[in-house]
Structure 1
Amino acid sequence: MASNIPKQQILSLYKSLIRESGKFPNYNFRCYAIRRVKDSFKANKLLTDIKLVRKEVDYAKENLEMIKRQAVIGAMYKTDKLVVEN
């Protein structure tokens, strides 16, 4: 993702998405969210069109807010840990 958006801002957004995705209490949701973030950033790594980069950054920001909400909701309804988590 190269554009006039600072690389540091994109990296910060990536780290925030990974951090917030790790807050899901459910193992399956947590792994899925982290995998989706990594795959999305990897797929868009070589974007050069400024409009497309801005669109993807805006989409990532929307997803960050959604992940934050879902992590809070998930924390309200705790379940037992899976065997693979122990």
Structure 2
Amino acid sequence: MSSSSAAVKAVKTSINVASAVSSQTVSAASIASLKNAYMTNINLFTNYNFREYFKRKYNKEFESLNENFNKNQDIRAEYEKLNQELRMIKRQSIINQLYKFDELIVESK
């Protein structure tokens, strides 16, 4: 009986956490910290082409997110999508670091 009550308690806790996350509002500071996390992880890519592609892509994404934020639109879904993509970027940057790429001419300093 105690194991089933523990499972029910865990489900209730996860539901409460999920509803707390969904009820939070997205602030300009949270958007800025998310963009900062993106740029930090994007700079971990060892390949120049990947790094520059993701910089361009996510600069556009964050520009549209900021425009929607300034227009007072509901941006929670877009913000959550970017959080999921941040986790993907983290995984991809780790995989990218496993491989050695030759330095391109545009990278030489």
Match in the other structure for 1:33: 54
2:73 to 31, 49, 54: 49
1:22 aligned to 2:43? yes
List runs of 5+ in structure 2 lacking aligned partners: 1-24
Deviations 1:25-73 (A, max 9, x none): 10000001011111111123221222xx101110111111111100000
Aligned-pair identity (%): 33
Larger Rg: 2
Q: Structure 1: which 5+ runs fail to align?
A: none
Structure 2 length as normaliser, TM-score? 0.70
**Separation in 2 of the partners of 1:61 and 1:43?**
15
Q: CA RMSD in A?
A: 1.0
Q: Which portions of structure 1, spanning 4 or more consecutive aligned residues, are displaced by more than 3 angstroms?
A: none
**1-structure distance, mates of 2:66, 2:51:** 23
